[in-house]
Amino acid sequence: MASKKASNVKPSKSRPVATSAISQPALLETLPILSSFSTAGNLFALVTLAVDKHRLRVYNSVSGRAIAEHTVQEGRVSSLVWATVALSSGPSAETNSPTKRRKRRAENDTEKEERQTEAEVALLGISDGTILLYSPEQSKIVRTLSHASSTSPILALAPGVSNKSNLWTSSADSSTHLWDVQKNTIIRSWKNEDRIPFTSLAVQQPTNPDNPTHLLSAHHHIRLLTDVSSPQDPSLTRPTQVATFTGHASSINILQWAKATATSHRFFSAAEGDRFVYLWESEGASINEKPVASIPLDSDVRSVSLNSSDPSHQILMALSTSGKLSFIPIPSEFPSPSNSGDEIHKIHSLLPRSTLTSVTKMNSDPPIINVVPISAVSGSIRVARLVQGIKPVFDLVVSYLVFFSFTA
């Protein structure tokens, strides 16, 4: 009888039934606000939900003003990164006759192929499998990457380091694609054997094109893949797996090499709902490697970044979801484990040397949501805070290195 009565109850007119939560994919409902600083820190991209569409706004972090805006009409934004990509300039505007244009086209094919420009763009991974390249300078989408084999939400993006035309993506259908941004084609594609999608990617591309490219790909555990750019044998669909790293219990959302080039063998990782940042060593790694060091924060990890002013004295800047920014010096070497102990592999614990927060007992300023080192000013960072969940404000912290003293 109770179920019969419940079925006859009419919904209240004052509280209409919401349908947006039903139509929105579950994967995207849990996504936080997406934000990212450009490499130089002068631009800041923020993706928010406006009515029923995702809106991208780009801010000048020096002046604090919005300089560009774009509303995504199809799908939702599932990933966001900045990158400097190589784009062909395209055919120039000509007013000559079709015959003259055909003649000039035959003469200038080589020149047009070499006519490339590097542009700093915000890469937007979309829930329908496409990738949008948005140029703040032109205030428009300058290229859309799409392919029949890429129809699932883009979970992770990893731009090429030395080759600006390369872009790695990971999709929700467990496929990984290597794109040629200029030609809008997929150079290589493979699916994971366990059909678990990668939630984070990080590329380590050497400056020498003859050396192999390494790619970190992760979900609950991390895989180190090599020779991912162009396989020697076209029949091989999957790249070679060199090593695996275990230690996280949830989906990994942060992967970052200590350096982008092949001279570095260290990288950092963090996972959803986890307050620890892990440091790993890839040199000589094999199967089920454990982290070298762990870095505890006061709450879940939001983002990590490294200072680039002095590579020999690296400082990890780890931002937690509470808005506290921790500065952790990374030693160049760790002491060797003692053979007398029962534990063969010891995980070192690194503690913050200094912290920065905008929330104290005396005030309630908006918490920090993102941070980036400023290479133009040694020992300086720019932080972004979000006012009422809508408007970002920016602050420059100068000479944070004064808190640290390094020893050889």
C-alpha closest to that of 319 among 294, 307, 300, 302: 302
Q: What is the mean pLDDT of residues 24-30?
A: 36
pLDDT exceeds 80 at position 237: no
Contacts of 1 (CB under 8 A, 6+ apart): none
Whether the pLDDT of residue 380 is over 60: the answer is yes
In three-state secondary structure terms, 252 is strand
DSSP state of 401: G
Tokens of 76: 């939702």
pLDDT(139) > 90 = yes
Backbone angles phi, psi at 102, to 5 degrees: -65, -40
Q: What share of the chain is helix, strand, coil (3-state, %, to 5)?
A: 10, 45, 50
H-helix or E-strand spanning residue 64: none
At 4 the pLDDT is: 41
- What are the φ/ψ torsions at residue 3 (nearest 5 degrees)? -70, -30
Q: What mean pLDDT is predicted for residues 156-182?
A: 93
324 has a pLDDT exceeding 70? yes
Percent of the chain with pLDDT over 70: 74
Q: What is the mean pLDDT of the chain?
A: 81
The segment with the largest mean pLDDT, out of 233-242, 255-264, 332-341, is 255-264
Q: Is 288 helix (H, G, I), strand (E, B) or coil?
A: coil
H or E segment to which residue 110 belongs: helix 109-114
**Other Cβ atoms closer than 10 A to 78:** 26
Cα-to-chain-centroid distance, residue 12: 44
What pLDDT does residue 292 have? 95
269 contacts 304 by C-beta, under 8 angstroms: no
350: tokens are 């690194």
Widest CA span in the chain = 84
Q: What digits encode the pLDDT tens for the residues 35-67?
A: 999 999 999 999 998 888 999 999 999 999 999
Sheet holding 240-245: strands in order across? 200-204, 214-218, 222-226, 240-245
pLDDT value at position 367? Answer: 83
CB burial of residue 99 (10 Å; 0-12, 13-18, 19+): exposed
The confidence score (pLDDT) of residue 360 equals 58
Angle at the Cα of 33 from the Cα atoms of 48 and 382, rounded to 5 degrees: 105
Q: What is the pLDDT of residue 20?
A: 32
What's the rounded Cα separation, in Å, for the pair 77 and 132? 10
The domains found in the chain, sorted by start residue, are 25-90+102-193 (2.130.10.10)
Find the mean pLDDT for residues 21-44.
65
Confidence of residue 25 (pLDDT cuts 50, 70, 90): very low
Question: Alpha-carbon distance 350 to 355, whole Å?
Answer: 14
- Average pLDDT of the residues in 142-165: 93
What are the structure tokens assigned to 262, written together?
A: 């092949």
- Is the per-residue pLDDT at 5 higher than 60? no
